[in-house]
Amino acid sequence: MIYQVLEEYTKDKYIPLRMKMEFGRDLFNAFRKLDILQELLEDESITEIMINGLENIFVEKGGEIYQYEKRFVSRKKLEDIAQQIASGCNRTVNEAEPIVDARLPDGSRVNLVLPPVALNGPIITIRKFPKEGITMKRLIAWGSISKEAAEFLEKLVKAKYNMFISGGTGSGKTTFLNALSQFIPEDERIITIEDNAELKLQSLPNLVRLEARNANMEGEGEIDIRELIRTALRMRPDRVIVGEVRSAETIDMLQAMNTGHDGSLSTGHGNSPKDMIGRLETMVLMGMEIPIEAVQRQIASGIDIIIHLGRMRDKTRKVLEILEITGYEEGRIQMHTLYEFQEKGSSHGKVRGSLVKKEELQKKEKLLAAGY
């Protein structure tokens, strides 16, 4: 494309300065950066990038999806960029291992899928994170959470309540976890554990970040989340933060919460708080065969608070529910709603509503111990 435009303008032996600058930038990105992908990464208004092989590129802006007009020049160039992204975080992607989760230097989440699994060519999906950390004040200003609920959660974090953030894909779980971290006292030692390092915990000097590692080409050297959690417990943590639980590592996270590491935080995928409890039970059973009653008791004693997030029809992300787990009785995990989002219609395409307080916190021992 660059060469076609150059040929057209060189017929008149004149190239405008603006176009020269664009050509220089495009050539630099093509040889030293990530080609046309670099432009999308530098555009802060874009929150998601979806590259569907050579034919189509889509981006998300302001909650709406648009098709991008540019294309990669060849499949090999696109494959080279996928390799460059994977190698940048010590991952390998090829025909033998065509599906890989990776990250960019700024923490943006990347999923890579190559042929033969991807039939229409290399697929790259990037979830971008803001360069500046999202604070709780900004979430309040955006209407994602009420000031009252944020102040309530601040007390719970400082009092070392074990908290779990649930929500669907794209509901803002990692962003909310980052915002909650600003309430952690600076004199505590924090260990974060992630598949891909995405958390950006703020103002925590005594912070240790651990990241899982995939196996090499010979199938050796894998270090999974479970091993990292066990290692973290030997590193004298005040709190353990697991970026997201997806499988058998859930039992290790719960054991950390039940063995004196109060104030631990984690996230997981769930359509509702009740669905999240069910998923936690299933994920624990993936790690060991124990009676379901024992699993439920572990969850009830380990997790104090569940914060459920959701993405509304107007594409905004909000805290929909804050629940307290009060114990285990009569074969069920007992919980009740502390705050709940109540919708009041819509105005100019935006959902109107507020987070309403429903009930009082029952387990106040940690608050009292912290001086509240």
pLDDT at residue number 144: 93
pLDDT at residue number 170: 84
State the DSSP string of 203-262: S-SSEEEEE-B---TTS---B-HHHHHHHHTTS--SEEEES---STHHHHHHHHHTTT-T
Q: Do residues 340 and 320 touch, judged by C-beta distance below 8 A? A: yes
pLDDT at residue number 287: 81
The total number of residues shown for the chain amounts to: 372
Kindly report the CA angle at 182 between 238 and 142, in degrees rounded to 5?
145
Residues forming a β-bridge with 64: 61
pLDDT at residue number 136: 93
Question: How confident is the model over 267-326, as pLDDT tens digits?
Answer: 999 999 999 999 999 999 988 888 999 999 999 999 999 999 999 988 889 999 999 999
pLDDT at residue number 132: 73
Question: How confident is the model over 315-369, as pLDDT tens digits?
Answer: 889 999 999 999 999 889 999 999 999 998 888 888 888 899 999 999 999 999 9
pLDDT at residue number 264: 94
pLDDT at residue number 303: 96
Q: Give the Cα separation of 372 and 27 in Å (integer).
A: 59
Q: Give the Cα separation of 191 and 40 in Å (integer).
A: 33
Q: Give the Cα separation of 310 and 320 in Å (integer).
A: 6
Q: Give the Cα separation of 372 and 115 in Å (integer).
A: 57
pLDDT at residue number 13: 58
Half-sphere exposure of 80 (CA within 13 A, CB side): 13
pLDDT at residue number 51: 93
pLDDT at residue number 31: 57
* pLDDT (tens place) for every residue of the chain, 372 residues total: 554 555 555 555 566 667 666 666 666 556 566 778 888 888 888 999 999 988 889 999 988 899 998 888 888 888 888 998 998 888 888 888 899 998 888 888 899 999 999 988 899 999 988 777 788 999 999 999 999 999 999 999 999 999 999 999 889 899 999 999 999 999 999 999 998 888 888 778 999 999 988 777 777 788 999 999 999 999 999 999 998 998 889 999 998 898 888 999 999 999 999 999 999 999 999 888 889 999 999 999 999 999 999 999 888 899 999 999 999 998 899 999 999 999 988 888 888 888 999 999 999 999 999 898
What pTM did the predictor assign? Answer: 0.83
* Strand 305-311 relative to strand 317-329, pairing: antiparallel
